[in-house]
Structures are given as C-alpha cells and as structure tokens.
Amino acid sequence: MGKILIKQGTLIPMDYKSRSVIQADILIEDTTIVAIDKEVRVSDAKIIDAADMIVIPGFIDTHRHMWQTQIRGIGADWTLGEYLEKMLGVYAPMYRPQDVYIGNLLGALDAVNSGITTVFDWSHIMNTPDHTDEAIRALWESGIRAVFAHGNPGTNVMEWFYESKLSHPEDVRRVRNTHFQSHDQRITMAMAIRGPEYSSLEVTEKDLALARELGLRASMHVGGGTFGPHYQAIKKLKELNLLGPDLNFAHCCTLSDEDFAYIAESGGSVSITPEVEMQMGLGLPATGKALTNGIDPGLGIDVVAGSGGDMFSQMKIALQTERALLNRQLHDKNEMPTILPLTVYDALKMGTIFGAKTLGLEDKIGSLTPGKQADIVLIKGKETSMVPVNNAIGQIVLNAGVQHVDTVLVAGKVLKEKGVLVGFDLDKIKEIALQSRDSLFSRVKALAQV
C-alpha cells in the first residue's frame, strides 16, 4: 500500500499518557503508523489533508451481532424476551448462508462508514459450516478489522439458550484450523459461548475447556435482566476456578461490586452496550461499577436489529447515563454535584483504547501510536454542527455523528474518503440486502401461516 501522510490534523492520540490534543502529521507505511510529529517530510507518499479535521484512532465495537443487519429496525420496540422469542426463535432458523454473508458485509460497511474500524462479531448463527464460512468471508471482503466470535447454531432457541445441555459445536476446530492459523491476521478468532445464564454449568465448563484448548478468548452474556440475579454467573465461575484474563463478559448490568472485583482480580474484560441494555430491560449500564472496581470497559452496539449502529451514540448514552445516576443520588440527598463521575475523555477512551484492551488488542490498535496499526478516522471540524472546534474531545463525544466521518483507514488502507465508502459496489450490496430481507420476511410469514 506504500506510504500515506496525514497532514496537520488535530490529533487526539488516546495513548494513556495524557489527555492531549496536538497539531501534527502522521506517516503511515503499509499497515503501520511509523511517525507522528509536528511536521513529517516525505516525498513519495499519498497526502491526506487533515486541516480542519479531528484525527482519532478508529472506534472499537466490542460486542455486535452482525448477521442481523438486513432486518434492522424490526426489534425497535422489543424486550429481551421478545428478542429471544422472535429473533433467535423465528428469524435465526430461517437464515441461509447467503443471508449471513450479506448481513455481515452490510453490517461491516455500516460500521466502517460510522468510523468503527474494529468489531467483535458475536456470531450465534452457525447453523451449518457454510453459514460460518460465509460470515467470515464477508468480514474479510469488507476491509474491517474484526474478531470473529464463533457461536452456537441459531436453529432452536429453546435447545440452545434456556439452560442448554448442548455443548459448543465441534466445527469450531475446523474453523480455527482453516481460517485462523495466525493471531496477527486482520480477522482473528474468539468463541461466543452461552455461559451460566444460558447453558448448564457442565456445558459452560466444557465450552471453556474447548476455548482454552484452542487458545481462544471466550465471550458470554452475564448480568442481563432477571437472568443475572437468578443464575449468579460470576460467583459460580469463581467457585469453579474458571475465571481468567481470556474471558469477556457482555452487559454485566445486574452484577454486584463483588462480582466486578472477581472479574478485575482475574484480568477479565467487560463490554457494555448501553442503548440495548436500557431498551430491552437488561438493566442500567454498569459503566461506573466497572470503572470503580478497576475494569476499563469497552462499548458495543449489540443488537443491530433494534439499535443504532454507531459509536457516537453509545459513548453519549454511557456518559450521560452515569452522570444521571450520580445526579439522582445527590438529588435524593438534596445536594448538587461538585464533580461529574465521568468525563468526555473517559467516554472516548471506552470507544477506543479501552475497547482495544477489552479485546486483547491494545498492543495493535486503540491509539495513535507509532508501531501500532494504522486504524485511523478523520472527523470533519468545519461542519455547521462542529465549528468552531473549541473542545475537540468534548465535541467528538457530544456533537459529532456519522455525517462527520470524512475518512477511515484500516491497516493503512483507505476505506472511506471525503465522506464516501470506496472500493465497493454499494448499489449491488444494497440490492442483495433487500433481496435477503424480502426472502426472510416471506419465509417467516409463510411459517406463521402453517
């Protein structure tokens, strides 16, 4: 790919060192950031003019079900129970391999368009090996960086998600050996397991043993609505000595401080999906509890059939919800806040460097740092809703949106330029997505009439 020089952007490095905003150039060689300085001189590079742009590391979505993209919107008013009943119980069994492919491809491009450069695809639609292979093919073709989390089939929600006695599909071994022989690929692998809230403890033990045998990070849903207090997942995992740094926990809304302390002690990670958690009744986002107990949480989009697909929304919801919780506590005491519990910088960290840490990729992505992968987003600073830029960090979190994403690079490759995705036949992709949507709706309707 050669050299790219991003000139004179307003950089937010997100490198843990300080809450810095600097005016600088970024030099990229092939997939990697090689230099950041006030001025970088090079004669043989493609120039990207970043004047009037805010330059940030790409957003990292740590929990998303990509396969549902072409039926987005249908779960806008669903509870968790309705999601399990309708999405996993009705639609998932109807998916063909080509439906998974277009759902993942359109979902990945939607993510890139909004400035998300890495996604954790929690894929519980492994109905056949062909379904699995098509999901992976779409991620590769999209150009996004992804962790593909191999899950269970979506063939029978009662068998797979209600105190399931079925172990994780053995096809995961083929997938690991065929598609993911290196941890240095742009697309890497994890396992999406049900855990104690959706499968028996015996199944959880077996699934975790399989993940660890294959050297894969394992992710599970915990602390979701009434499932959390009933099953006490973290305490049971602790009692069985199964916690560890290779485990990721999504949601965690109902977990106690003791639960979070166990996760922190073990080195595990937490993914918070604030929009879906509050909509579907999983509970209030556990952002504050995670941070208080020494865990740097990542953020996720989650159910794309029932929520927006951008990180701007998740950062804002997580931030303002935590602030509202403190304000309510103080209001009950007839007090006014003297300091806010979360800052805009905290929110931006959750969308970038904390997300990288959540996925075990902080040595590769999450900050603008020489030696890391060139996953970079340029945000328009001269739009009416952004100008003048007086607080770059605050305005990224509270003012910016998808419409402000000008340029997106993943591994040094430009996937969006001047506000437009490049290298894709978008009209054809949209046409295939519509055909897939129509086919799914038709087959679900026919099933209902039987």
3-state secondary structure 269-308: EEEECHHHHHHHCCCCCCHHHHHHCCCCCEECCECCCCCC
Helix spans in 307-372 (H): 311-332, 344-351, 353-358
Please, what is the Cα angle at 184 between 182 and 186, to 5 degrees? 105
Q: What is the CA radius of gyration of the chain?
A: 21
Read off the pTM: 0.96
Check whether the bond before 388 is cis (ω within 30° of 0). yes
Burial of 351 (0-12, 13-18, 19+ CB in 10 A): buried
Is residue 215 packed enough to be buried (19+ CB in 10 Å), middle (13-18) or exposed (0-12)?
exposed
pLDDT tens digits for the chain (450 residues)?
689 999 999 999 998 666 889 999 999 999 999 999 999 999 899 999 999 999 999 999 999 999 999 999 999 999 999 999 999 999 999 999 999 999 999 999 999 999 999 999 999 999 999 999 999 999 999 999 999 999 999 999 999 999 999 999 999 999 999 999 888 999 999 999 999 999 999 999 999 999 999 999 999 999 999 999 999 999 999 999 999 999 999 999 999 999 999 999 999 999 999 999 999 999 999 999 999 999 999 999 999 999 999 999 999 999 999 999 988 888 888 888 877 889 999 999 999 999 999 999 999 999 999 999 999 999 999 999 999 999 999 999 999 999 999 999 999 999 999 999 999 999 999 999 999 999 999 999 988 775
Helix axes 426-449, 97-113, angle to 10 degrees: 130
279 token code pair:
């909509």
**Alpha carbons within 13 A on the beta-carbon side of 98:** 9
